[in-house]
Structure 1
Amino acid sequence: MASCSNPPEANNGAGQPQEYPVYAVQNSQATLLASYPASLEGEQNVEIRPKVDGYISQIYVDEGATVKKGQLLFKIDAPQYQQEVITANASIKSAEAEVNAAKLQVANITPLVKKEIVTGTALQNAQYNLQAKEAQLAQARATLANAKTNIGYTTIVSPAAGVVGKLPNKPGSLVSPSSPVPLTTVSNIQKIYAYFSFDEKQFLEFSAKYPGKSISEKIKQLPAVSLVLSDGMVYPEKGRIETVNGLIDNQTGSVSFRATFPNPLGTLRSGGSATLQIPVSIASALLLPQKATFEVQGRKMVYVVNEKGMVKGKEVQVMDLFAGNDYVVKDGLKAGDRVVTDGMGNLKDSVTIKPVPVTNGSAH
Structure 2
Amino acid sequence: MANTRFILLRILTLLVFFVFLGLGGCDRGPSRHGGPPPSPRAVSVVTVKPQKIELSTELPGRTAAFRIAEIRPQVSGLIKRRLFTEGTDVKAGQLLYEIDPAEFEAALENARAALLKAEANLPAIQLRAKRLKELLAVKAASKQDYDDAVSALKQAKAEIEYWKAQVKTAKINLGYTRITAPISGHIGPSNVTEGAIVTAYQPTPLATIQQLDPIYVDVPRSTTELLRLRRRLENRNLSHSVTSQAKVKLILEDGTIYPHEGTLQFSDVSVDPTTGSVILRMIFPNPEKVLLPKMFVRAVIKEGVREAAIFVPQQAVARTPKGEPYVLVVGAGERVEMRMLKLDRAMGDKWLVDSGLSPGDRVIVEGLQFVRPGMPVKATPFHENKEAMGARGGHGAGQNTRPGGGA
Same-fold status (TM-score > 0.5): yes
What SS does the aligned partner of 1:225 have?
strand
Which whole-Å CA distance do the structure 1 matches of 2:133 and 2:245 have between them? 82
Higher relative contact order (CA closer than 8 Å, sequence separation 6+): 1
Match of 1:124 in 2: 147
How many angstroms does 1:276 deviate by? 1.4
- Alignment of 1:43 with 2:74, yes or no, is no
Which whole-Å CA distance do the structure 1 matches of 2:109 and 2:88 have between them? 37
Identity %: 26
Match of 1:168 in 2: 191
Given that 2:345 and 2:351 are in contact with CA atoms closer than 8 Å, whether structure 1 keeps it comes out as no
Which whole-Å CA distance do the structure 1 matches of 2:234 and 2:204 have between them? 47
How many angstroms does 1:236 deviate by? 0.4
| Runs of at least 5 residues in structure 2 that lack an aligned partner in the other structure | 1-44, 316-342, 354-363, 367-381, 394-407
Which whole-Å CA distance do the structure 2 matches of 1:272 and 1:169 have between them? 27
How many angstroms does 1:234 deviate by? 1.8
Given that 1:191 and 1:262 are in contact with CA atoms closer than 8 Å, whether structure 2 keeps it comes out as yes
How many angstroms does 1:96 deviate by? 2.2
- Alignment of 1:285 with 2:311, yes or no, is yes
Distance 1:85 1:120, change over 3 A: same
Matches within 5 A, 1:13-162: 34-162=57-185
Distance 1:177 1:322, change over 3 A: farther
Q: Which moved more, 1:256-265 or 1:280-289?
A: 280-289
What SS does the aligned partner of 2:152 have?
helix
Given that 2:313 and 2:365 are in contact with CA atoms closer than 8 Å, whether structure 1 keeps it comes out as no
Which whole-Å CA distance do the structure 1 matches of 2:183 and 2:195 have between them? 26
Match of 2:365 in 1: 334
How many angstroms does 1:92 deviate by? 1.5
Letter in 2 for 1:116: K
Given that 2:247 and 2:264 are in contact with CA atoms closer than 8 Å, whether structure 1 keeps it comes out as yes
Deviations 1:328-356 (A, max 9, x none): 4589x937386887799xxx99xxxxxxx
How many angstroms does 1:155 deviate by? 1.0
Which whole-Å CA distance do the structure 2 matches of 1:26 and 1:72 have between them? 71
Which whole-Å CA distance do the structure 2 matches of 1:53 and 1:221 have between them? 46
What SS does the aligned partner of 2:284 have?
strand
So what's the TM-score if we normalise by structure 1? 0.67
How many angstroms does 1:255 deviate by? 1.2
What SS does the aligned partner of 2:149 have?
helix
How many angstroms does 1:226 deviate by? 1.5
How many angstroms does 1:118 deviate by? 0.7
Distance 1:338 1:108, change over 3 A: closer
How many angstroms does 1:210 deviate by? 4.1
Given that 1:225 and 1:279 are in contact with CA atoms closer than 8 Å, whether structure 2 keeps it comes out as yes
Given that 1:32 and 1:321 are in contact with CA atoms closer than 8 Å, whether structure 2 keeps it comes out as no
Given that 1:211 and 1:221 are in contact with CA atoms closer than 8 Å, whether structure 2 keeps it comes out as no
Given that 1:212 and 1:218 are in contact with CA atoms closer than 8 Å, whether structure 2 keeps it comes out as no
Deviations 1:215-249 (A, max 9, x none): xx954289632212233322101112220011222
Distance 1:191 1:230, change over 3 A: same
Distance 1:322 1:159, change over 3 A: farther
Distance 1:233 1:212, change over 3 A: same
Letter in 1 for 2:103: Q
| Runs of at least 5 residues in structure 1 that lack an aligned partner in the other structure | 1-23, 290-318, 350-364
How many angstroms does 1:144 deviate by? 1.2
Which whole-Å CA distance do the structure 2 matches of 1:245 and 1:83 have between them? 51
2:209 to 183, 186, 190: 186
Aligned-residue Cα RMSD (Å) equals: 3.7
- Alignment of 1:260 with 2:283, yes or no, is yes
Letter in 2 for 1:37: P
Given that 1:169 and 1:183 are in contact with CA atoms closer than 8 Å, whether structure 2 keeps it comes out as yes
Given that 2:75 and 2:201 are in contact with CA atoms closer than 8 Å, whether structure 1 keeps it comes out as no
How many angstroms does 1:87 deviate by? 1.8
Letter in 2 for 1:203: L
Distance 1:209 1:264, change over 3 A: farther
How many angstroms does 1:278 deviate by? 2.7
Distance 1:162 1:220, change over 3 A: same
Given that 1:195 and 1:257 are in contact with CA atoms closer than 8 Å, whether structure 2 keeps it comes out as yes
Given that 2:250 and 2:298 are in contact with CA atoms closer than 8 Å, whether structure 1 keeps it comes out as yes
Matches within 5 A, 1:207-286: 207-210=230-233, 219-220=242-243, 224-279=247-302, 283-286=309-312
More strand by share: 1
How many angstroms does 1:164 deviate by? 1.7
Letter in 2 for 1:186: I
Which whole-Å CA distance do the structure 1 matches of 2:387 and 2:155 have between them? 97
* Equivalent pairs, count: 290
Which whole-Å CA distance do the structure 2 matches of 1:136 and 1:46 have between them? 39
What SS does the aligned partner of 1:236 have?
coil
Letter in 1 for 2:225: Q
Which whole-Å CA distance do the structure 2 matches of 1:177 and 1:195 have between them? 33
Q: Which moved more, 1:242-251 or 1:169-178?
A: 169-178
How many angstroms does 1:33 deviate by? 5.7
Which whole-Å CA distance do the structure 2 matches of 1:229 and 1:320 have between them? 26
Which whole-Å CA distance do the structure 1 matches of 2:78 and 2:389 have between them? 71
